Structure 1
Amino acid sequence: MTDNVIIAIGRQCGSGGHEIGMRLAKKLDIPLYDHNLVAMAAKELDISEEAAREVDETALSSFLASYITGPGDYVAYMNAEDYMRPLSERVYKAQSGIIRRLAGRSPCVIVGRCADYVLQDCPNCVSVFICADKEDRIKRIAQLQELPERKAAEKIKKIDRERKYYYETNTGEDWGKASSYQLVLNVSRLGLNKSVDILASLFESLGQ
């Protein structure tokens, strides 16, 4: 397994975890992998990016579990073995392989996609979970997506439930539980900038 330093970020919806990942990657001048992993997995599986996005960090509907969307927005049967495997499982497996290859290529920041679990054998992979107080998360999503706070709260609950299901189904570990990670940062207490500084310092210390 690679000796590159990898920061694998799990996050609550609305905590600012994605923004922390972006700021950290920019500060360290290293690649950030997040939503772009969906496009990579879709290309590897030869399916539409839309189909891959439907099951990225979400629970899969029973209908999509049996079918796979191909190029041109049509539904195509796979071979017998693939037909029996849900699309979500295939996307997860493809993303996991891509994550391992990218981690072996260079230091990087990876947001979500069970990267901490996928890279658990990497000696310099730092698994961090970003959280924040519920009120702060609601305000952040309401502001970013121009939603009433009630709608923002509902969206946060839905996305966190899906991320928890995705993570625990694929890893067998507890999503968001402190003991599942090396580091937990509460953005409500630290702020975005301080959180980035802490992770940057840790990255630099491991890279020496």
Structure 2
Amino acid sequence: MTYLPGETLQITITGQVARIVDGSPWSEIRLDVADQSGGITLPIPLGWAAAKVIRIKPAAGVPKPGELWQNCQGAELFVTKDRYGNPQFATADGRTHSIEWMNNTFGPLTPIRQLPEREREPDWTWDENDDNPGSCTDPSGQVWDLTAQYRDGEGHVWHWAGGFGRDGDDGPIRPLMSRRDWSRTDVQITDIPGPLSQLPADDEDAGPVTS
């Protein structure tokens, strides 16, 4: 078992102090323990059956999503997020493991590099102070009239559903659209078969939308 300078450990020692011996016949780690008196450095023999060692934090700190780490066997570990937003490791076989489990089972853990972040598509923008905005702007700078109706590439007519939605947990925010016949509702505008063409106000399909 090996350890790295800077790792945070929790060591539970069971026994009774009988005597103090200078030096140790075994390889040892020296543990800095902080207390109100300023702290002390304790020598802990490696492989000592009476001492239970739990790894608390890797020497390089807590792994962050987007980083690539490796365990003591050299296996690469990609840092992702669990359903609660906490960092976790994903292995090459597709399995996920908590930082604590991997650290104690295959530590010490060391970072390799920060992987480049996936470029995120910008949000569509609108006047957020307006409860009923009349237009919004897509990432390319095109302004879309939210009071108008649009015909898609399959001939269906759509109108703004009155809200905006995000694609996934960290996807871009886009306007939500509904079909004029209400067969589909609250669909992100980019999920509608294109191209979208704005209907003129005098088009026979551009009349008032009724529920």
Larger Rg: 2
* TM-score, normalization by structure 2: 0.20
Q: Which has the higher strand share?
A: 2
Q: Whose RCO is larger (CA < 8 A, sep 6+)?
A: 1
* TM-score, normalization by structure 1: 0.20
Q: Which has the higher helix share?
A: 1
